[in-house]
Amino acid sequence: MPEDVMLNIANNALHLLGHDGITTIHEDTKEGKLCKFFYAVAKASTLRSHPWNTATVREMIPEISIDEMPVYEAKLGFHHVYQLPPTCLRVLQVDENLRSFNNVWWKVEGSRLYTTSPMTYITYIADIDDIRDPMLQEAITYKLASVLAFPITGDPNAAAVYTQLYEARVREAKAVDGLEGRSEMMVNNVLTDARQR
């Protein structure tokens, strides 16, 4: 399935640019090579641009030995260091329960997360391959088209059109994803209010 999605997105981007599609993502043509080369970057960039519900993951991560803590980090008050998952593109939140007390400071450096207090889980954007969300597929398509525009068409201005379409799709996704989260919170609040009466 992931390679089918990748091929579909690549072909949609090529069609937007007025070119024929490819039969496989490993096709030995100019279009095939460019799509394969730029797809991962376009996908990762699009995923990082917005906390897509479909790519949001919450999980516990392992703490690394304090002996591996750089001296300057400890001086800044970071007493805990965690190894981020290899698929983590962007950390969104660190241990919601601790953050509610406003006593957890954190920062990401490379593949490590530094915190001032111990924590149990993080919420992050994962580099997913099985992309089922049609809005995310469209956003990646426009991002890929914007990257491919000049090497495929030779027109230095072509990228701007697809960049605008990409940005519009991300804005729309923010609104839709925000409603999904808001409706869940509203349902929880209604149930909580009902129980308290």
Residues 90-148 pLDDT 10s? 999 887 555 544 556 888 988 989 888 787 789 999 999 999 899 999 999 999 999 99
Alpha carbons 54 and 51: distance in angstroms, whole number: 9
Q: Are residues 107 and 143 in the same domain?
A: no
Q: For residues 56 and 128, is the Cβ–Cβ distance under 8 A? A: no
Question: Same domain, yes or no, for 122 and 97?
Answer: yes
Q: Out of 12-26, 31-45, 60-74, 160-174, which region has the weakest mean confidence (pLDDT)?
A: 60-74
How many domains does the chain fold into? 2
Of 94, 126, 158, the residue at which a domain comes to its end is 126
188 pLDDT band (50/70/90 cuts)? very low
Judgement on whether residues 24 and 80 belong to the same structural domain of the protein: no
| Last residue in a domain, options 126, 154, 171 | 126
What is the model's pLDDT at position 70? 62
Provide the pLDDT confidence category of residue 184 given band limits of 50, 70 and 90. Answer: very low
The reply to whether 47 and 76 lie within a common domain is no
Residue with tokens 């917005």: 50
Lowest-pLDDT choice from 20-24, 36-40, 66-70, 114-118: 66-70
Has residue 153 got a pLDDT over 70?
Answer: yes
Same domain? 152 vs 121: no
**Residue 21: which domain range?**
2-52+133-196
Residues 48 and 62 placed together within one structural domain of the fold: no
Last residue of a domain, one of 70, 92, 126: 126
Please name which of 129, 113, 126, 141 lies closest in space to residue 9, comparing C-alpha atoms.
Answer: 141
161 and 142 within one domain: yes
Which long-range CB contacts under 8 A does 114-118 form with residues at least 24 apart?
114/69, 114/73, 114/78, 114/80, 114/81, 114/82, 115/78, 115/79, 115/80, 115/81, 115/82, 116/77, 116/78, 116/79, 116/80, 117/79, 117/80, 118/63, 118/80
Nearest CA-CA partner of 147 in 133, 135, 162, 132: 162
Are residues 103 and 140 located together in one domain of the fold? no
* Co-location of 161 and 68 in the same domain: no
Q: Strand 56-59 vs strand 122-126: parallel, antiparallel, or unpaired? A: antiparallel
The answer to whether residues 59 and 121 belong to one domain is yes
107 lies in the same domain as 157? no
Contact between residue 156 and residue 150 where contact means Cβ atoms under 8 Å apart: yes
Give yes or no: residues 95 and 148 share one domain. Answer: no
